[in-house]
Amino acid sequence: MGSRRRSRELAMQALFFMDMAHGVNEEALKRYLDHFPPPEHASAFFLDLVKGVMQTMPEIDALIESASDNWKLSRMSCVDRNVMRIAVYELKYRNDIPPKVAMNEAIDVGKKYGTEESGAFINGILDTIHMKLIKKQGDQDNNG
């Protein structure tokens, strides 16, 4: 398994831990890292993903909810919710990661840790978000 895939899995687990403990914050991250430090080869990307999601979570969560018909974020499985948070962070803020890679990685991690329906659910929402981001970028480019 590549170090980036491992970092994504570990980031999902850390965000899952914080989400379930009702505190996605630096203190909860420190508590998680005290017990489950990432391996050195995955640490830098892991921290970028987790801290990036933490810093942009309100915007990420709004995008996820706007792309999911009849689904509140709180009703989604914790695995699916946090896998998508990571992917949306990558889609919106990491221009060095191709959108197809971010989406495929999220689908694979969702299938591994989520339910039978997780892959299709994550794919549908991420595809909608990706299209919205492309349209928004196109609109900005056309409006100068």
Both tokens of 1, joined, read 């398994």
DSSP string covering 65-83: HHHSTT--GGGS-HHHHHH
Question: Nearest Cα to 102, choosing from 119, 122, 88?
Answer: 88
Alpha-carbon gap, residue 60 to 85, rounded angstroms? 6
Q: How many domains does the chain have?
A: 1
pTM of the model: 0.92
- For the chain, what percent of residues have pLDDT higher than 90? 81
Neighbours of 81 (CB within 10 A): 21
Residue with the two structure tokens 């892959």? 119
Cα separation of 61 and 80, whole Å? Answer: 12
Q: What is the CATH number of the domain that holds 99?
A: 1.10.940.10
Tens-place pLDDT, residues 30-84: 999 999 999 999 999 999 999 999 999 999 999 999 998 878 888 999 999 999 9
CA distance 76 to 78: 6
pLDDT in tens, 92-123: 999 999 999 999 999 999 999 999 999 999 99
Domain enclosing residue 16, as ranges: 3-142
